[in-house]
């Protein structure tokens, strides 16, 4: 038989074990207890529990009552202070300890680190809240549309009736701003709506060409297309919207100063498996600008709806693009350096990937 002792087992548990004798002096303090409390056992063994855990009154109370009254505790909403870091969310259970003659010789606490579980709970909560806000925003957007079109219509009528040019300018502003609001509302509604994709085999180069054409400034682009790129599986309109958003951002960042390079490639992607089990291939489209770049602290916020650094930006472009790409089972990668420019790469499964 392998030499396996209770001591080794306790020492290697992922839960912290803290045991006290009948005088409430610490008798056992395993490795996980050292890790969680950030205290070395040489400092705590033999010392009074209440003195070592001054800040954890609940733990002291539980162990004291277990020793004195034989009561057992199991609590999941406790906190354990660490010597240096912030307090950990923990679950604590206590039990009495008896010697081989059946006499009580102390009590033990088993402490489980719940920080992983707590952050999972927080993430779920955040997601639910986001879904709720999304629904709320969609309703609000819907309600705003009717009065807005009424206002726009009235301004249009007014502009026909008035002859004073200066006044016409004002009605023009009302109509232009109403149109802008309307397009924000449409984007919001698009964003809140669950995606309905009309998936076909599409030629991504044709999509990119139409985006470049829509930007009405073809000279500002360098096309670096891989002619052997197979068709991708996707919704042409939705992907046009994605690349329009990305190209618009690239153009706004570089202020027309330098060309924007669009590169397409084929990569072997081990995330995608074909029906025969072989790795599928992924098409990648990189949009690279030499513009202002994104500050590291902004990088994780650019996908948050309404995050923008532009005076007239809406901050929906990246949020919508990411949503669409995810619905296509694709990925998005960003590399950016302040002053050096930005490269956004979109990965999409090729039509052959699923065959």
Ligand X SMILES: Nc1ncnc2c1ncn2[C@@H]1O[C@H](COP(=O)(O)OP(=O)(O)OP(=O)(O)O)[C@@H](O)[C@H]1O
Q: How far is CA 103 from CA 25, 52, 109, 135, 265, in A?
A: 17, 26, 18, 62, 74
Closer of 8 and 300 to Mg ion (Cβ): 300
Minimum CB separation of residue 39 from Mg ion in Å reads 51
Should residue 261 be labelled a site residue for ligand X when binding is judged by CB under 6 A?
no
User: Residue 308's binding partner, choosing from Mg ion, ligand X, none, with beta-carbon cut-off 5 to 8 A by kind?
Assistant: ligand X
CA distance 155 to 160: 9
The one among 309, 326, 340, 354 contacting ligand X by CB under 6 A: 309
Q: How far is CA 323 from CA 99, 239, 248, 302, 330, in A?
A: 62, 11, 17, 13, 10
Should residue 211 be labelled a site residue for ligand X when binding is judged by CB under 6 A?
no
Should residue 333 be labelled a site residue for ligand X when binding is judged by CB under 6 A?
no
- Residues sharing a CB contact under 8 Å with residue 299, sequence separation 6 or more, in sequence order: 334, 336
Closer of 106 and 291 to ligand X (Cβ): 291
Q: Which two tokens stand for residue 323?
A: 């949503």
Q: Contact 32/17 with Cβ under 8 angstroms?
A: yes
Closer of 19 and 250 to Mg ion (Cβ): 250
The one among 54, 126, 310, 333 contacting ligand X by CB under 6 A: 310
The one among 90, 188, 247, 316 contacting ligand X by CB under 6 A: 316
Should residue 325 be labelled a site residue for ligand X when binding is judged by CB under 6 A?
no
Q: In the window 271-290, what residues touch ligand X (CB under 6 A)?
A: 289
Should residue 346 be labelled a site residue for ligand X when binding is judged by CB under 6 A?
no
Tokens 């059946």 locate to: 102
- Pick the closest to residue 284 from 260, 264, 261, 270 (CA basis): 264
Q: Which two tokens stand for residue 259?
A: 């060309």
List of residues contacting ligand X (CB under 6 A)? 245, 249-250, 253, 289, 291-294, 298, 302, 307-310, 313-319, 342
């Amino acid at each position: 038989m392998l030499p396996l002792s209770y001591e080794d087992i306790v020492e290697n548990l992922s839960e912290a074990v803290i045991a006290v004798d009948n005088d409430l002096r610490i008798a056992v303090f395993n490795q996980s207890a050292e890790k969680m409390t950030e205290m070395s056992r040489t400092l705590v063994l033999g010392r009074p529990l209440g003195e070592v855990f001054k800040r954890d009154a609940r733990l002291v109370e539980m162990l004291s009552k277990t020793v004195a009254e034989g009561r057992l505790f199991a609590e999941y909403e406790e906190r354990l202070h660490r010597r240096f870091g912030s307090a950990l969310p923990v679950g604590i259970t206590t039990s009495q300890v008896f010697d081989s003659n059946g006499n009580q010789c102390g009590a033990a606490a088993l402490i489980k680190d719940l920080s992983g579980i707590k952050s999972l709970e927080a993430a779920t909560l955040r997601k639910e809240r986001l879904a709720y806000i999304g629904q709320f925003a969609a309703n609000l957007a819907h309600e705003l549309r009717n009065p807005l079109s009424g206002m726009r219509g009235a301004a249009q009528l007014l502009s026909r009736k008035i002859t004073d040019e200066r006044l016409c300018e004002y009605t023009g502003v009302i109509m232009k701003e109403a149109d802008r609001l309307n397009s924000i509302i449409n984007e919001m509604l698009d964003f809140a709506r669950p995606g309905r994709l009309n998936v076909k085999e599409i030629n991504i180069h044709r999509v990119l060409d139409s985006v470049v054409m829509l930007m009405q400034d073809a000279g500002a682009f360098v096309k670096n297309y891989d002619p052997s790129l197979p068709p991708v599986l996707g919704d042409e309109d939705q992907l046009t919207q994605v690349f329009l958003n990305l190209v618009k951002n690239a153009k706004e960042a570089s202020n027309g100063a330098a060309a924007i390079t669009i590169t397409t490639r084929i990569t072997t992607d081990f995330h995608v498996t074909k029906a025969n089990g072989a790795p599928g291939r992924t098409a990648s489209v990189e949009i690279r600008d030499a513009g202002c770049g994104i500050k590291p602290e902004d990088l994780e916020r650019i996908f948050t709806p309404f995050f923008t650094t532009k005076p007239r930006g809406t901050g929906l472009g990246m949020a919508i693009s990411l949503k669409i790409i995810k619905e296509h089972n694709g990925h998005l990668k960003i590399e950016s350096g302040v002053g050096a420019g930005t490269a956004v790469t979109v990965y999409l499964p090729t039509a052959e990937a699923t065959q």
